Amino acid sequence: MNHLFPPLLPKEDLQPPVLVIAAHPDDEVIPAGAMLAWHRDQGHPVTVLHVTDGAQGDPDGRFGDICETRRREGREALQRLGVTDVRALGFPDGEVPENLAALQDPIRAAIQEIQPKTLYSFFFTEAHRDHRAVSHAVTSAADALPEDCRCLLFGVNQVVVGGTMFDVTAYMDRKQHALSAFESQLAYNDFRLKILHRDNAATVNIEDPTIQHAELFADLRPHELAPTLAMAETLYRHLLRDPS
């Protein structure tokens, strides 16, 4: 029986262009904000696609037009990371599973346009139903991805088990600054410190004292998405005793 520690891999092997597919503004910054800043520092073009309008992000009605607020916050956060190509599909927040068929074409179109060599999106064991639905839509469009695309799948609600790590220690101040842009969401759950600690905890088995923070991903190729989805979803539902 071998050790199975998550590998710490060089960022320099990641190639442009970069496409990010997230359900809501903030979904990409929480797990991958530091890596997106690194890509931009290398001059890599980065396109972020937000699937929903974010309308469910203000249950107490504190922020007026929450859809516009979240769009503005999302653009500001990404601008702080150097990302300016931000697109919104506007599907109803909380209803991505019900709109899965309609989502297929715009995701496929974005993939065909960008032809990413690096793709960031959700891993299959997310708790939020919108996140899991987006992971299904991306998997359905995997045949449109370049064969050599690195699919780096992140967790927002759950840490990706058995993932690949990238050292982001030098980017944590910028990531925290970006997270601070999400004022409407922080009013309900100030997750900045939690994410800082989570990225720090990812390095628990790294002995190099200069590496204090890492972002963690499942590192897959397009042809691996569908079989991994099937295995991961079966295990996740079993562990949560989910009969659906």
Q: Categorize the per-residue pLDDT at 244 as very low, low, confident or very high, splitting at 50, 70 and 90.
A: confident
Residue 142 has pLDDT above 90, yes or no: yes
Q: Look at residue 20 in the predicted model and tell me its pLDDT.
A: 99
Q: What value does the mean pLDDT take over residues 216-220?
A: 98
Q: Dmax of the chain from CA atoms?
A: 56
Confidence at residue 87, expressed as pLDDT on a 0 to 100 scale:
98
pLDDT class for 131, splitting at 50, 70, 90? very high
Euclidean distance between CA atoms 117 and 106, whole angstroms:
19
49, 19 Cβ separation under 8 angstroms = yes
**pLDDT at position 99 over 90:** yes
Main-chain phi, psi angles of 192, to 5 degrees? -60, -50
Q: Tell me: the pLDDT tens digits for 50-78?
A: 999 999 999 999 999 999 999 999 999 99
The strands making up 118-122's β-sheet, listed across from edge to edge, are: 85-91, 46-52, 18-22, 118-122, 150-154, 214-220, 164-167
Is the dihedral angle over the CA atoms 181, 172, 134, 107 positive or is it negative?
positive
Which residue, chain included where needed, has tokens 């925290």? 176
Residue type, 193: L
**pLDDT exceeds cutoff 90 at 161:** no
Residue 162 has pLDDT above 90, yes or no: no
CATH homologous superfamily of 11-237:
LmbE-like (3.40.50.10320)
Work out whether the CA dihedral 38, 81, 178, 53 comes out positive or negative. negative
Domains of the chain: which residue ranges? 11-237
Query: What's 135's DSSP letter?
Result: H
pLDDT value at 195 more than 90 = yes
d(CA 92, CA 105): 16
